[in-house]
Chain A
Amino acid sequence: MRVGLFVTCLVDMMRPSVGFSTLQLLERAGCEVVVPPTQTCCGQPAWNSGADTHCQDLARKVIDTFLEFDYVVVPSGSCAGMIRNHYPEALKDDHTYHSRALSLAKKTYELTQFLVEIAHATEFSAKYKASACYHDSCSCLRELSVREAPRQLLAKVEGLELKPLKDSDVCCGFGGLFSVKYPEISERMADDKISDAKDTDSSLVIGPDLGCLLHLAGRAARRGETLKFRHIAEVLANCPHPSIGEGT
């Protein structure tokens, strides 16, 4: 199984350890993993801003880069959702690329969903001693219907006690450019999420999307909270890196 790894722009620049963890997990799941060096961004900021032409240009590049693989795996619900749900819509008037967008959409998966449903790999002998809660990203939940896969994977992590998070289907307030356009609303939503996480007595919040995690970790740091944040790939791959925002 030849898998193209789309690391995403945020992981590339802000948290490469998520990319390496993902690479490791995919290889251990028996995939032949290729990281195309010409990848950049999926174009979501443009799409969500209504800048359709920019988005279409980037979508065509991603399609050209990744169409050759059996599967494309993304350690992010929102970028995977962009490719799966919005590329075909963005390119609906492009006769050449619309059908390509559809076939890329069909083989693109968010990491946890791919591991559980396609690679049938759930054993990674991961260890992490902590009580933690899981923050579903809205894209995972509602764009990709990914809910059970991450929980199934985390249940196998030795030492990890996963506590149910109240209102786990409610947005954390990131929303890409929303977080900078309406910081005060975003703040309220982050604070609600952080309080709910603290109420579970967890020391760690695990999530599938780096965007949510940078936003929540950044807000928690500003508030002086001790809560830690990690991407699920890092937890599953025993990533030795300090948690997000703990320095290097």
Chain B
Amino acid sequence: MTQNPRAFREASKQAVHDPRLKQALGRIKGHFQLARRFASSDFPDFEALRDQGAAIREHSITHLQPLLAEFEKSVTSRGGKVHWARDAAEARQVVIEILKRSGARRVTKGKSMVSEEIGLNDALQAHGIEPIETDLGEYIIQLRHEPPSHIIAPAFHLNKEDVAETFRGAHRNLDPSRDLSERSALVSEARTMLRAAFEGADAGITGANFLTAREGAALIVTNEGNGDLTRLLPRTHIVVTGIEKVVPDLNAASVLLRLLTRSATGQPITSYVSVMSGPHSPELSDGPREFHVVLVDNGRTRLLGTPAQEALRCIRCAACLNHCPIYGAVGGHAYGATYPGPIGAALNPNLLGISQAHHHPNASTFCGRCAEVCPVKIPLPTIMRYWRAREYAAGLPPLSNRAGLGLWAFAAKRPQLYRLITKLASRILKRLSRDGRIHALPLAGGWFAIRDLPEPEGKTFMEQLKSS
């Protein structure tokens, strides 16, 4: 499945008319929205926690250099190694070099959006290294050769019947008569396949939810325990993550953890929180021999100092997706990019270029629900509007849109002319009405594609006021 953000319009049109997708997305409310609502209202003062989280993240992204330097020092002092990657290509190259050096052929992976962002799996395969995704959702979409459709629930677009079909197609030893109608049967089938993968892996790759500068640790949250098996069993563990994930210390990370899990799945804490702070030491029986952290910039520093900078605060909880009515209607794949929904609309114009990702900041009614639930208070609609202004300034919207807007503004700045135009328009619209509405008008296909226009009174307010 190729990712094409420019095809958003067509893809979203198809998506809203896909009944299976609608069924899958219908689970958002029960699965995520209510869970978040209960978890945040159970917490004594969630608003204060959001303020605290926002302040920690704001401090972190405005002090990236010293924090990252401290992080590198701490990791190195514990026997790990930090690698820096300016862009996706460098990041892929660094990972492949580490794996080749250690002779790795099979690699287990924990769920990582940065790994999706840099296109790691395809690169590994091209170098003869087999990546096996171990997060259940990620494993399913890997079998289906699809990108994730959600930041924390990669297979959210699928129903359990789709998953059963996928397993039957991909697992050659699966008995055709086996009942896979229950969720538990699907999980146990996946577990059987993944156990073998864990045992045979030469290296493990995970992402990181947070990096703590003082301790030189990377944290991940999981509910399946796959993260621990990925990082602890193989000889080599590689953390691939974005430079913006750094925070000052474990105390700061613990504040953000409280926000993250409640905002994401509504859990007070996930089943597992793994703190990964280097290769195993002589006094420990398990853990990797080699510990690498690949810190990816890929355009992040470019955001610093711009009005979109606050997007770097993001802790990838997906609450903005879960509360976005657009995401809820079209799902993640329609966006044609690694990061869908409001956070994608804030990040993608920088990551992919505004001409590629221009639909994303436009595909919003500015309803503001995303900003309302964001645990670190990213002003998402403000950032989307900034990208629209950049798009407009670059002359990217179609000439017809810009000309239309220019004509309208020309008239709106001239009250007398405006009065005359609205007077005429009001009369014409009234004439064209049948049964209280207008069914179609030239040059207004977007409006009339799905709705009528209620009939106007025929005389403007200003006109009537003058004559009253």
Contacts and interface: CB of A to CB of B under 8 A. Distances in A.
Contacts of A217: 454
A143 interface: yes
A12 B364 contact: no
Interface in B396-422: 397, 401-402, 405-406, 408-409, 411-413, 415, 418, 422
A185 B363 contact: yes
B105 interface: no
Contacts of B175: none
Nearest to B465: A35
A37 B16 CA distance: 44
Interface string A237-248: 000011011111
Interface string B373-395: 00000000000010111111100
A143 B383 CA distance: 16
B362 interface: yes
Given A47-B385, A175-B365, A219 B446 contact: no
Interface residues on A, range: 35 or more
B454 A171 contact: no
B460 to A, nearest CB: 5
A9 B465 CA distance: 14
Given A47-B385, A171-B367, A182 B12 contact: yes
A190 to B, nearest CB: 7
A17 interface: yes
Contact of A222 (B385, B392, B452): B452
Contacts of B167: none
Contact of B436 (A47, A48, A221): A221
Contact of B437 (A47, A169, A218): A218
Contact of A171 (B365, B371, B392, B433): B365
A14 B436 contact: no
B161 interface: no
Contacts of A54: 405-406, 409
A183 B450 contact: yes
Interface stretch (B110-118, B199-207, B325-333): B325-333
B182 interface: no
Nearest to A85: B382
A155 interface: no
B13 interface: yes
Nearest to A44: B366
B435 interface: yes
B461 A58 contact: no
A244 B454 contact: yes
A215 interface: yes
Given A19-B461, A46-B409, A13 B451 contact: no
A50 B391 contact: yes
Nearest to B14: A184
Contacts of A13: 422, 425-426, 456, 460-461
A122 B461 CA distance: 25
Nearest to A193: B325
A169 B389 CA distance: 27
A110 to B, nearest CB: 15
A138 B366 contact: yes
B16 A188 contact: yes
Contacts of A12: 422, 460-462
A247 B455 contact: yes
B401 A14 contact: no
A40 B460 CA distance: 12
A205 B225 CA distance: 49
B168 interface: no
A183 B326 CA distance: 12
Given A14-B456, A189-B325, A175 B367 contact: yes
B137 interface: no
B372 interface: yes
A43 B457 CA distance: 23
Contacts of B413: 40, 57-58, 61
Contact of B415 (A38, A222, A248): A38
Given A37-B462, A50-B392, A188-B16, A143 B368 contact: yes
B405 A45 contact: yes
Contacts of A222: 450-452
Interface string B307-335: 00000000000000000011001100000
Given A15-B457, A221-B436, A221-B454, A39 B415 contact: yes
Nearest to B409: A54
B47 to A, nearest CB: 14
A214 B182 CA distance: 45
A181 interface: yes
A181 B464 CA distance: 33
A217 B371 CA distance: 28
Given A13-B422, A188-B16, A218-B452, A58 B412 contact: yes
B455 A245 contact: yes
Interface in A161-190: 169-171, 173-176, 178-190
Contacts of B430: 248
B415 A40 contact: yes
Nearest to A65: B415
Contacts of B450: 183-184, 186-187, 190, 219, 222
Contacts of B363: 178, 182, 185
Contact of A178 (B364, B397, B433): B364
Contacts of B455: 245, 247-248
Contact of B369 (A37, A50, A57, A142): A142
Given A49-B401, A52-B389, A54-B406, A185 B16 contact: yes
Nearest to A11: B461
Nearest to B464: A16
12 contacts: A19-B461, A51-B392, A51-B405, A138-B369, A174-B365, A185-B16, A187-B450, A215-B451, A218-B447, A221-B436, A248-B430, A248-B458
Given A45-B408, A184-B16, 10 more contacts: A50-B391, A54-B409, A58-B413, A178-B364, A179-B446, A185-B330, A218-B451, A218-B452, A219-B450, A247-B433
- Closest 9 A/B residue pairs (Cβ): A175-B365, A180-B446, A50-B388, A245-B454, A247-B436, A50-B389, A218-B451, A171-B367, A50-B392
Interface of B: 9, 12-13, 16-17, 325-326, 329-330, 362-369, 371-372, 385, 387-393, 397, 401-402, 405-406, 408-409, 411-413, 415, 418, 422, 425-426, 430, 433, 435-437, 444, 446-447, 449-462, 464-466
